[in-house]
Structure 1
Amino acid sequence: MTVPYAEVIGDPVARSKSPAIHRFWLSRLGIAADYRATRVTADTLPDYLAARAADPLWRGCNVTMPLKQRVQPHLHAFDRTARAIGAVNTVVRGEERRLTGCNTDAAGFLDPLRPLLAQRHWFRMARVLGTGGAARAVVYALAGTGFTLVLAGRDAAKAQSVLDSLAPEGGHHSADLACFAQPTDFAFDAREGCLDLVVNTTPLGMRGHGPLRFDLSHAPPGSLFYDIVTDPVKTELLLRATAAGHATFDGLHMLIAQAAAAFALFFGQPAPREHDAELRALLAA
């Protein structure tokens, strides 16, 4: 390879949409560079990073499952967000082969919510499903924008640990993910002036994974459902939520926004977001 390049690493990584996103932007901007997907396991990660750090053409990589936390011991520095969250989704090569871990997931997650967050609410509550690296970014982002959180995972103790480390104040709660699978007869109020989110950060509902069991009776009227899964784009959770009259955001919103932040780090120019509609159509095809 004779041009600057970046890549996405993880295991599995073959279905990643990141190469299509970054190549789309590189083409629109006329930048002579490339972006690719490379399968890297926990065992091969140290050798991979050592080899890439020595390559002056390598600009960095995006990091996906299961490496977002495992990559950290091999890095030289962290940006403020990655340090606070304790998870890295972007590695940038700097001078003297120094590798800096960054996290663009938190900002990427919040991007489509910005118009709502600019409004005033009497109360904001989010039910966040999952306790992995992406969940940590979501918890960090939402706690910083005035949400009371219910964090649910297969291990409620782990969920509480995540809250204790990322959002020790604010009256948040942990729960067993299984409790949301069963109907509830809780009588929600009208929720006027409130903002309620249901966020899926688990791989459940992704192609090749099991279904996400979430009974819609746990969502107050007028809730917004946000599923960060991107394959399929319209998950079963989002289809059910739409049919029940709830607003939804799919995973392409977060994927494109976090990729845009990484693109600027890799290639030194802002991503051309004015082409988002065309990009979404390409990714959803």
Structure 2
Amino acid sequence: MAKKKVKKQRQFGLIGKNIHYSFSKKYFTDKFEHHFFDNCHYKNYDLESIREFPKLVEETKGLVGLNVTIPYKETIIPYLDKVDKKAKKIGAVNCITVSKKKKLKGYNTDYYGFKKSLKPLLKKHHTKALILGTGGASKAIAFALKKMNIEYDFVSRNPNEYEFSYEELTAEIFAEYTIIINATPVGTHPNVKDCPALDYSLFTSQHIAYDLVYNPEKTAFLKQAKAHGATIKNGYEMLVFQAEKAWEIWNK
């Protein structure tokens, strides 16, 4: 009788800090169960410092792919052997492939997920966007908007000369920028009452309010924007799209 071939164990995971809430672990664990990928496993790797990363790669058996989240999307880049062209342009990585020889290549699937989830909401007048926040996620958002020919500007609590401060956002600016994207973690569970410091009465039915946060489903930012007529969307669908793109990359 022929010996049954033992499937090679494939390990995946998420690199981040304080990531017990993570979308990825549940999403991939459910996916593996549903499709009977019984040789695939997904784990959260909560790192106190990015310096712990090389040891993790070295010691983890069967490591094939990793997702990367806050606060390491930018600081992980120097640890990689190669970075995909788009991720290099963006300046942030949220997906890594690990070769048999432990060579690491970085990609960005955030921009893809965002672009795919925003597209169905767009109307002719949606030509300019404000991105709240300037971290790794906001860089991917900017890249996606550029690909869609949507002009954008950043809003920051500590703006440089090219960015808006929250205090500068007037009715005139809101009339011009009809897509407002929260790319900060403000409002994430458990701090559900928090929201970016905007004048929410400036939202209208012409606006899209998009929040990368998905837990809670309706953040304070989205609730207040909706109360003034805005079309709202949270980051859940973006996460699904970026996760599926990562799965595609890991299985090339």
* TM-score when normalising by structure 1: 0.77
Partner of 2:5: none
Structure 1 Cα separation of the partners of residues 166 and 100 of structure 2: 44
What's the secondary structure of 1:65's corresponding residue? coil
Structure 1 residue aligned with 2:13: 7
RMSD of aligned residue pairs (Cα, Å): 2.3
Which residue pairs with 1:73 in the alignment? 78
CA distance in structure 2 between the aligned counterparts of 1:95 and 1:135, rounded to whole angstroms: 32
Alpha-carbon shift at residue 28 of structure 1 (Å): 2.3
1:59 aligned to 2:67? no
Aligned partners of 2:70 and 2:173: how far apart in 1? Answer: 38
Q: Secondary structure at the match of 2:127?
A: strand
Matched residue of 1:44: which SS?
Answer: helix
Q: Residues 122 and 198 from structure 1, CA distance in 2 versus in 1: closer, same or farther, beyond 3 angstroms?
A: closer
Q: CA deviation at 1:185?
A: 4.4
Q: Is the 8 A contact 2:203 2:229 kept in 1?
A: no
Deviation per residue, 1:20-46 (Å, 9 max, x gap): 111222222221211121211323223
Q: 2:33 aligns with which of 27, 35, 40?
A: 27
- Provide the rounded CA distance (Å) in 2 between the counterparts of 1:18 and 1:244: 32
Counterpart position of 1:241:
225
2-side partners of 1:237 and 1:130: how far apart?
A: 14
Distance in 2 (CA, whole Å) between partners of 1:185 and 1:109 is 26
Give the AA of the match of 1:196.
T
**Residue 156 of structure 2 aligns with which residue?**
153
Tell me the secondary structure at the aligned position of residue 69 of structure 1: coil
Is the alpha carbon distance of 1:5 and 1:113 closer, same or farther for their aligned partners in structure 2, counting shifts above 3 Å?
same
Question: Which of 257, 261, 267 is residue 241 of structure 2 equivalent to?
Answer: 257
Q: CA deviation at 1:81?
A: 1.3
Alignment of 1:1-285 (within 5 A): 3-32=9-38, 33-42=40-49, 43-52=51-60, 55=61, 57-116=62-121, 121=124, 124-157=127-160, 160=162, 174-180=163-169, 184-186=170-172, 196-209=178-191, 210-267=194-251
Q: Give the deviation of 1:63 after TM superposition.
A: 0.6
**What displacement does 1:48 show?**
1.9
Q: 1:246 to 1:92 in 2, by over 3 A?
A: same
Structure 1: any 5+ residue segments left out of the alignment? 161-173, 269-285
The letter of the residue matching 2:248 is A
How many pairs are equivalent?
241
Q: Kindly indicate whether the alpha-carbon contact (under 8 Å) linking 1:104 and 1:258 is maintained by their aligned counterparts in 2.
A: yes
**Could you tell me the TM-score, scaled by structure 2's length?**
0.87
- Cα contact 1:40–1:48 (8 A) shared by 2: no
- 1:175 & 1:102 partners in 2: Cα distance? 29
The 1:72–1:254 alpha-carbon spacing in structure 2 relative to 1, beyond 3 Å, is same
